[in-house]
A = this chain, B = another copy of it.
Amino acid sequence: MRVTEPHRARFSVDERRAQLLELGLRLFAERAYDEVSIDDIASAANISKGLLYHYYGGKRAFYVACVAHAAEALVERTHMSDEIPEPDRARAGLDAYFDYAEEHATAYVALMRSGIGNDPEVAAIVEATRTRIVRRALDGMGITTPRPAFRAALRAWIGAVEAACLEHLEHRDVARVGLVDMLLAGLYGLLVVAKQLDPDAPFALGPPPQPPTQTETASPPSRGSRRRQP
């Protein structure tokens, strides 16, 4: 028997925090909140129960931190440069969104399905994340003052994006480009009516993303979107 580890490894604060966050995100992604016990976390991280309380206030706070971590990563990831003109920026952001979701599938699903019951703090984080994305999109469209109709339209669209993304991760039977095309068409429809509801908005709607020619199976590879039809 080796007794080389009388006490566990000694990390720096940041290292420990990062390790715990990563681990927690993985654990909470694969099991429900109260399926994961403090002991599970502690033993998986090879630390004692008490240490978790040193870094985070408790189990709840730790969970919140994990969710916030994932949310932050998502927001950063989908931040598109202002250089890109608007017709394509939405598509680029959407692509980045799907990229993140595909790469960190478990984390993404955990984030979307998150919430301890309807825990206000967790709900606030998820909702704040959506709001940040919506606000950023509105900024990109030149809308800075409160525009209820446009906010509602984008908020609804975010809902559609999240749903489509979860759908895509579950059973991948629709090409990703197809989903993106659909979502962009849906966004256009939403924005048309939003503009009708608020004609004074400083926002000019471009041409529809694609004329409904409905002749070919997949959409033509025009307008700079790469194909990936199976």
Chain A interface residues (CB < 8 Å from chain B): 28-29, 31-36, 63, 109-110, 113-120, 123, 148-149, 151-153, 155-164, 167-168, 171, 173-175, 178-179, 181-183, 185-190, 192-199, 205, 210, 212-219
Contact = CB atoms under 8 A, between A and B. Distances in A.
B193 A181 contact: yes
Nearest to A29: B118
Given A117-B116, A199-B217, A217-B199, A155 B167 contact: yes
Contacts of A148: 171, 173-174
8 contacts: A32-B119, A34-B116, A109-B118, A113-B115, A148-B173, A159-B163, A182-B190, A189-B189
Contacts of A160: 156-157, 159-160, 163, 186, 190
Contact of A163 (B36, B117, B155, B187): B155
Secondary structure of the A side of the interface?
A: helix
Given A113-B118, A199-B215, A152 B32 contact: no
A181 B178 CA distance: 24
A64 to B, nearest CB: 12
A32 B178 contact: no
A173 B198 CA distance: 12
Given A117-B35, A164-B156, A197 B178 contact: yes
Contacts of A187: 186, 189
Contacts of A194: 182
A156 B149 contact: no
Contacts of A216: 196, 199
